[in-house]
Amino acid sequence: MSETLLVMEDLCIRSPSRTLVEGVNIEVQAGRVTAVVGHSGSGKSLSARACMAVLDVDPGLVRGSLRYPAASPADLFEGVRGGGMRAQKALLRRTKKYRGGYITYSPQSASSALNPGRTIGAQLAIAVARRENPPKSASHMATIIRDVLEEVGLPPRASGALPGELSGGMAQRAALAIAIAPQPRIMIADEPETGLDPVLRRVVNELMLQVAKDHGVGLMLISHNMDTVRRCADTVVRIGADAPDPQLPDRKEAP
């Protein structure tokens, strides 16, 4: 049985004028892929941000709970529900230690994930420093950065490149490297296929799945591509009443 890394139950988020997310339940397990599907505007990305305890709407969270069982049994939303922006800011402070370490997030495009003014190596160094046991020397840091780049199929010279100097596929690989470099327990990939041609989509997806599997990471994949979801997901969370049903094939749990 896989270790449970994240449990979010009955999430409800509201803005002053309407309900943004209603009754969402998400569970992420180590070494498995949880796909979150739904049409544009259904609240997929908002739900993913809530999984990271990031809420930035007012009144915001009105119902739901969030736990990281592998790190703490506590309900991270305790004292936040119905508290508005002040409570949400307190939540951000309380959960800061988990973001970028226990849980990482890669947004919809590499251009959003990467800082255009920092080299890939500099951004990787920041990510590696968030490890539970960060390297204590510059030479060790350089070795880790080289190894992470190699794992995602990038040459060592990519370390000195700025994001704008990389192709779309290389930039997506760099974003994946930065997401996995802190050795997270959970990785959220928000529409990783955005802006890629069909061949690169398949390559990037397969690479992401392999890296997550190798590290035993629980992967939350946000996608509208049902072919990808059917091929990759172990579990599917449908957001919105008209969310598509990918009809996953039967998969046996690994022993």
**Domain range summary for the chain, segments of one domain joined by +:** 4-238
**Contacts for 235 with CB less than 8 Å, ≥ 6 apart:** 27, 32, 33, 34, 35
**Tokens read off for 116:** 């255009």
**Tokens read off for 221:** 């994949």
Pairing mode of beta strands 235-238, 33-37: parallel
Mean pLDDT of 71-98: 91
Q: How far is CA 219 from CA 19, 55, 215, in A?
A: 27, 21, 11
Q: Helix, strand, coil shares of the chain as percentages rounded to 5?
A: 35, 20, 40
Q: How far is CA 159 from the centre of its chain?
A: 23
Q: What residue spans of the chain are helical by DSSP H?
A: 44-51, 84-95, 110-113, 120-128, 138-151, 168-180, 198-215, 226-232
Mean pLDDT of 28-42: 91
Mean pLDDT of 83-91: 89
**pLDDT at position 146, please?**
96
237: left (phi over 0), alpha (psi -120 to 50) or beta: beta
CATH number of 4-238: 3.40.50.300
**pLDDT at position 223, please?**
86
Q: How far is CA 49 from CA 135, 168, 180, 202, in A?
A: 29, 24, 18, 25
**pLDDT at position 255, please?**
41
Give the separation between CA 234 and CA 227, rounded to whole angstroms.
13
pLDDT by residue (tens digit) across 168-181?
Answer: 888 888 988 999 99
Which segment of 41-45, 109-113, 166-170 scores lowest on mean pLDDT? 109-113
Upper half-sphere CA count for residue 177 (Cβ side, 13 Å): 30
Q: How far is CA 86 from CA 12, 58, 101, 197, 248, in A?
A: 18, 10, 25, 43, 41
State yes or no: pLDDT of 244 exceeds 70: no
Provide the β-strand partners of residue 237. Answer: 36
Mean pLDDT of 224-228: 84
Residue showing tokens 């119905």: 82
> Residue 85 — pLDDT band, cuts 50, 70, 90?
confident
Q: How far is CA 167 from the centre of its chain?
A: 22
**pLDDT at position 254, please?**
43
Give the separation between CA 206 and CA 215, rounded to whole angstroms.
14
Give the separation between CA 97 and CA 94, rounded to whole angstroms.
8
**pLDDT at position 187, please?**
94
